[in-house]
């Protein structure tokens, strides 16, 4: 193990505190996985050096895309094959990593990495930090995962939540206020920035979009909680009303077959495109006239931040921290999660009103620049690390009310 790491990863720079980010990941990952990787360069020039260890199913083909993202972001990424709950080698690998890198802070991002942090700590003294991204994907095992977090989180030195509702949930799990911090998700607005004049031609030509047609977009894992079935039904209703539009959904997941069946059943083959995994999301956003978040459950989704940063107007459902991000009628349109009629009406307004699209797009970009800059977020994270390690920082407001 050590010899292999020596040949691939540089030693941690001398004199800097090592933070090990750990997370379970499948396929090409999601917003939290990307956020972790993007964090590394923002810690350059600080006392902290970040390395990520992602637990993934052996031979998962999607993990290669994650590795490519890590290289592009400049974040050291260690692949930890994980064969399941009985795979004891995962514990040994992570303990070895902590000893090798002399980890000062373990930063977990899900129930399993939280549990592993507690398991490793008796053998390697370090501080425990976790980010709660939300318990959104519900399966038969969800109650077990929630129970594990209920047991783990009160033992963590700091629990970071990405939205106020998750602060409330963490309190119910027994986490005291002095160990809670509210840090909203953020976006690198210097990277997610629309070119002027807008570069919409390439993807629209590739997909042969007729002139004048409005293109709606959605990005996310193809699973039930994302509400894509509802979104396809909304598109069907809008097309039936005579509106010229189409929907692009970027992402992969276990619901793909069901969505393909819906497209065929509603005769939407020329109106709904399931794009699969899209590496170049910036080009995707350039091609969109509006973005739709139809989710039934979320924390604070990065894809909405990305769309707003790219001057794409958004329709969102009232889930998780979205209500703190979006001001209805000012920076986007909000509708009730799970209500088809509300989703149809909100989408129709943006499809038919170009002036409204332009106004919301401009206001959304300004909101990102003012309140959801990635640099500002990483300043907050650094202050939390300072606090956990006992490094004094003057005038640091670090409480659940800090944004």
State pLDDT tens for residues 162-174: 988 899 989 998 9
What residues contact residue 82 under an 8 Å CB cut-off, 6+ apart?
A: 24, 55, 56, 57, 58, 90
Kindly report the pTM of this predicted structure: 0.82
Cα separation of 171 and 163, whole Å? 13
DSSP 3-state assignment of 46? Answer: coil
- Sign of the Cα pseudo-torsion (42, 32, 308, 280, in order): positive
Domain ranges of the chain: 2-186+373-389, 201-371
In this prediction, residue 147 has a pLDDT band, given cuts at 50, 70 and 90, of confident
Answer yes or no: CATH 3.40.50.2000 is held by domain 201-371.
Answer: yes
State pLDDT tens for residues 227-277: 999 999 999 999 999 999 999 999 999 999 999 999 999 999 999 999 999
Cα separation of 180 and 186, whole Å? 19
Convert 236-268 to b/e letters by CB count within 10 Å (16 or more is b): bbbbeeeeebbbbbbbbbebbeebeebbeebeb
Instruction: For tokens 């750990």, name the residue.
Output: 22
Common-topology check for domains 2-186+373-389 and 201-371: yes
Strand ranges in 167-209 using DSSP code E only, listed in sequence order: 180-182
Residue 153 dihedral angles phi and psi, to the nearest 5°? -60, -40
Answer yes or no: CATH 3.40.50.2000 is held by domain 2-186+373-389.
Answer: yes
In this prediction, residue 2 has a pLDDT band, given cuts at 50, 70 and 90, of very low
Query: 51: which 2 tokens?
Result: 């390395």
pLDDT for res 1: 40
Of 328, 298, 315, 308, residue with least CA distance to 371: 308
């Amino acid at each position: 193990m050590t010899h292999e790491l020596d040949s691939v990863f540089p030693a941690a720079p001398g004199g800097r505190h090592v933070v090990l980010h750990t997370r379970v990941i499948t396929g090409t990952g999601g917003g939290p996985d990307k956020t972790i990787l993007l964090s590394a360069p923002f810690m350059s020039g600080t006392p902290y050096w970040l390395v990520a260890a992602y637990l993934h199913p052996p031979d998962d083909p999607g993990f290669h895309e994650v590795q490519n993202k890590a290289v592009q972001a400049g974040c050291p990424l260690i692949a930890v094959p994980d064969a399941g709950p009985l795979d004891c080698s995962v514990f040994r690998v992570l303990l070895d990593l902590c000893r090798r890198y002399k980890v000062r802070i373990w930063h977990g991002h899900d129930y399993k990495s939280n549990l592993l942090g507690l398991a490793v700590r008796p053998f390697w003294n370090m501080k425990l930090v976790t980010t709660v991204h939300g318990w959104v994907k519900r399966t038969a095992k969800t109650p077990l995962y929630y129970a594990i977090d209920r047991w783990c989180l009160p033992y963590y030195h700091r629990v970071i939540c990405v939205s106020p509702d998750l602060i409330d949930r963490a309190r119910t799990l027994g986490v005291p206020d002095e160990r809670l911090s509210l840090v909203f998700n953020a976006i690198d607005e210097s990277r997610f920035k629309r070119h002027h004049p807008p570069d919409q031609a390439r993807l629209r030509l590739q997909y042969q979009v007729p002139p004048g047609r409005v293109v709606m977009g959605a990005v996310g894992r193809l699973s039930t909680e994302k509400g894509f079935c509802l979104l396809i039904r909304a598109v069907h209703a809008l097309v039936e009303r005579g509106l010229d539009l189409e929907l692009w959904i970027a992402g992969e997941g276990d619901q793909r077959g069901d969505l393909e069946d819906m497209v065929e059943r509603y005769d939407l083959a020329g109106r709904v495109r399931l794009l699969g995994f899209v590496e170049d999301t910036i080009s995707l956003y350039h091609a969109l006239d509006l973005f739709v978040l139809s989710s039934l459950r979320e924390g604070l989704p990065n894809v909405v931040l990305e769309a707003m940063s790219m001057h794409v107007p958004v329709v969102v459902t009232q889930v998780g921290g979205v209500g703190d991000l979006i001001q209805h009628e000012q920076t986007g349109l909000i509708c009730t999660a799970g209500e088809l009629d509300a989703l149809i009406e909100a989408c129709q307004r943006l499809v038919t009103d170009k002036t409204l699209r332009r106004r919301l797009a401009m206001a959304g970009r300004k909101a990102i620049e003012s309140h959801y800059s990635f640099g500002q977020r990483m300043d907050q994270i650094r202050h939390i690390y300072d606090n956990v390690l006992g490094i004094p920082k003057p005038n640091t407001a670090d409480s659940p009310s800090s944004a």
